[in-house]
Amino acid sequence: MLIWFNYHLHIFLIYISIRISSEDISSGWQSFIHFSSSGFEFSPIDMEALFLQRTTADSLEICSQMCHTTVLCRTFDFDIVSRRCRIFQGDLDTTGSIISSSLSQSVVGSIELDSTQFDSFGKSCLFCQGSRYLKCINSTCQCQSNTYFDGSICRSQKLLGSQCINETDCRTDLNYTCLPRLQCGPLSLQNGSTVAGYGNGTAGSDNNALNKPWGLAMGIDNSLYVCEYGNSRVMRFHEGSTLGIRVAGSASAGTGSNQLYEPSVLYVDASSNIYVADDINYRVMFWANGSLSGTKVVGTGSYGSSLNAVADVFGITVDSHGNIYVADTMNHRVTKWIPGATVGIIVAGQNGISGSQSNQLSYPGGLFLDEIHSYLYIADAGNNRIQRITLGGSTNATTVAGGNGQGSSNMQLNNPRSVYVSKTTGAIYIADEGNYRVTKWAVGATKGVTVVGVDGQAGSSPMLFGDPTYVILNLNETLLYVSDYVNHRVQSFKLI
């Protein structure tokens, strides 16, 4: 059903059955209203921000008129039995949804906007006198409060987490702006919270300190595991605690089975067992949960290019069968180590050859395994791109981010160190070290957006990074963690 209102005449018209001549209609105050069928109500995404009024109305027509005569109202619902009338600001398609109601006679109404109602936007105020949708600001016709002009109509400003392009797209009365990540929210979301390390740029070896943190991993209980390159240890921080527990390595660097020497990255499995890339010892160590020492599962302990050796490992992941995938950085390859094997199998790149072809890598780093789709993502740092291979298939990879030369534009990367892929959206998060930022690339995107950090600007403030080397998300993907190597800290940021 479609209803047409004219406020000046105070009449209610069923548009399909009654016609009003154009001279009787005030175009500035006419509204077209769509209705749902019975048994539904409006569910706003933010009740506090969108709710305008609840009252009792004698009929659907009167409730409709209440919305029509309230400038900010765009959506309402009315229950015929209880006569409950609720009116909301916010366009139906962006600020809420129609859901089933426990009130069988409840109906949702929404005002339909037409571009002709906004023809006077930007013109002299003489053209918008008496308009429902425009008001006079600084001698020109502008959108009403909490709305913005999208080039055609004045739409309702967006709420927390909604996609945006310009600052005016977002609810300014709630202090939301269009963040660098192209989402509406308060600017404070760009500030990180220090969850490990002193947070003042100082290195240390106490349990609440870090020294050159690199790789990160998330435990099944949301504990944060941190590889410390400078302290030659792995620390675990329980959720909410900044006091860590050493779970791998000893008090000093070394070559013993209970020691590590500048560990770079790690992987933690579902049983809380730890796989650690022990960089200067040229090996990967397996530390069973609670063990005081580890077992070598990859490498010989000496630098090498043969398939039984590794040379600087800066990426590691493990599949559900226990196969270990290693980014052998200086050998420009990724190898797969079957449990118990003494040699690896090349699955990406060419042995010892740096290159930029689809079957080549250049100083590969962080790895991410999507076992459901048999995808392995590789931070191909030397080529400034993220590569994806299909395991069990060709070694030719697909570029899914970057690959447009070294640079700071939203189509480029600069020495990307690690990659994490959202399990819910498939979006790719990248620690773009050389640009001092973390970028997010949607599935199939040809450019990314800066989620945190400031493009090309290094620093130690909560909004900046000195050297972002690794990025992960927590289990429910509400927080993003970044290791800030030279600031000796791990920062967390809220995702929206």
Using CB atoms within 10 Å of the CB of residue 206, give its burial: 0 to 12 exposed, 13 to 18 middle, 19+ buried: exposed
Average pLDDT over residues 211-239: 97
Which phi and psi angles does 440 have, rounded to 5°? -125, 130
Q: Which pLDDT score is estimated for 176?
A: 96
Q: Which pLDDT score is estimated for 2?
A: 45
The answer to whether residues 267 and 313 touch, using CB atoms and an 8 Å cutoff, is: no
End-to-end CA distance of the chain: 37
The answer to whether residues 381 and 390 touch, using CB atoms and an 8 Å cutoff, is: no
- The encoded tokens of residue 12 equal 């209610």
Give CA–CA dist 20/31, Å, rounded.
14
Average pLDDT over residues 183-199: 95
Query: Does 19 score more than 70 pLDDT?
Result: no
Sign of CA dihedral 244, 245, 248, 253: positive
| Domains in the chain: ranges and CATH | 134-186 (no CATH), 195-494 (2.120.10.30)
Give CA–CA dist 482/494, Å, rounded.
12
Average pLDDT over residues 78-88: 97
Give CA–CA dist 66/53, Å, rounded.
10
Tell me the whole-structure pTM to 2 decimals: 0.85
Q: Which pLDDT score is estimated for 17?
A: 25
Contacts of 479 by beta carbon, 8 Å cutoff, 6+ apart: 473, 492, 493, 494, 495
Span 426-452, pLDDT tens digits = 999 999 999 999 999 999 999 999 999
Average pLDDT over residues 48-70: 94
What is the total residue count of the chain? 496
Average pLDDT over residues 276-281: 98
Q: Which of 470, 475, 434, 476 is nearest to 196 (CA)?
A: 470
Which phi and psi angles does 147 have, rounded to 5°? -130, 160
Which phi and psi angles does 438 have, rounded to 5°? -115, 125
- The encoded tokens of residue 42 equal 């409006």
Higher confidence at residue 33 or residue 233? 233
Q: pLDDT band at 40, cuts 50/70/90?
A: very high
Q: pLDDT band at 209, cuts 50/70/90?
A: very high
Q: pLDDT band at 30, cuts 50/70/90?
A: low
Q: Which pLDDT score is estimated for 394?
A: 87
Query: Does 359 score more than 70 pLDDT?
Result: yes
Give CA–CA dist 454/423, Å, rounded.
26
- The encoded tokens of residue 214 equal 């690199």
Q: pLDDT band at 29, cuts 50/70/90?
A: low
Output the average pLDDT for the chain: 92
Average pLDDT over residues 480-487: 98
Q: Which pLDDT score is estimated for 395?
A: 87
Q: pLDDT band at 93, cuts 50/70/90?
A: confident
Q: Which pLDDT score is estimated for 384?
A: 98
Query: Which of 12-16, 294-298, 313-317, 433-437 comes out lowest in average pLDDT?
Result: 12-16
Contacts of 424 by beta carbon, 8 Å cutoff, 6+ apart: 477
Span 384-419, pLDDT tens digits = 999 999 999 888 999 999 999 999 999 999 999 999
Contacts of 195 by beta carbon, 8 Å cutoff, 6+ apart: 224, 237, 242, 481, 490, 491, 492
- The encoded tokens of residue 109 equal 């109404």
Using CB atoms within 10 Å of the CB of residue 271, give its burial: 0 to 12 exposed, 13 to 18 middle, 19+ buried: exposed
